[in-house]
Amino acid sequence: MGRALRADAERSVRAILEAAERVLAEDAGASMEQIAEAAGLTRITVHRRFANRQSLLEALAVSAKQQLLDAIGEARPDSAPALVALYRVTANVLRVKNTWRFTLSHATPHTSAAAALWEEIDAYTVELLTRARNEGLLAPEADLDWTRQVYYALLGEALNRPGADQDPEGLATLVIDTLLYGAGPRR
């Protein structure tokens, strides 16, 4: 979407994306008409904003990744010690991932915009893990790419835990404790 949308058009797009997330989470094969109905809009309005299902899925991917990036920024990871920042980022990311379960857990199209956002998310994550290593939370020899992958896997597993949508702070603690201390006894 090259130029800025009018406020009503922006509301329509937001309604379509939110409805698409809900509908597709229940039925991945749902039609554009079903999504339009869930958004309270006509099929023509949905097609005016998204020419086809592919463009809608691409917009979902960009929107979800942008919200992840916003959640990381809202945690203000640069203004707190690494442990506090890790906790805040994790809780915020879990909230967003819970809202965008379908989009973030399915292979969604990687447009150049979505890929760029994902690269930015990865960079922020590695930067935060670097701070954690510099502050002694991670071993000096820790492979940060591997640690990032493990962190992402822990986030995914946390979301699959029963009641995940009710306690993002508790799940953030579980993720960070597991990342930093594993399952062994603390020394």
Give the up-direction half-sphere exposure of residue 94: CA atoms within 13 A in the CB hemisphere. Answer: 30
Give pLDDT tens digits for 54-78.
Answer: 899 999 999 999 999 999 999 888 8
**Which of 1, 98, 7 shows the shortest CA–CA distance to 56?**
1
Give pLDDT tens digits for 129-155.
Answer: 999 999 999 999 999 999 999 999 999
**Which of 88, 15, 89, 91 shows the shortest CA–CA distance to 46?**
15
**Which of 43, 69, 72 shows the shortest CA–CA distance to 56?**
43
pTM (two decimals): 0.85
Q: Which domains are present in the chain?
A: 1-51 (1.10.10), 60-181 (1.10.357)
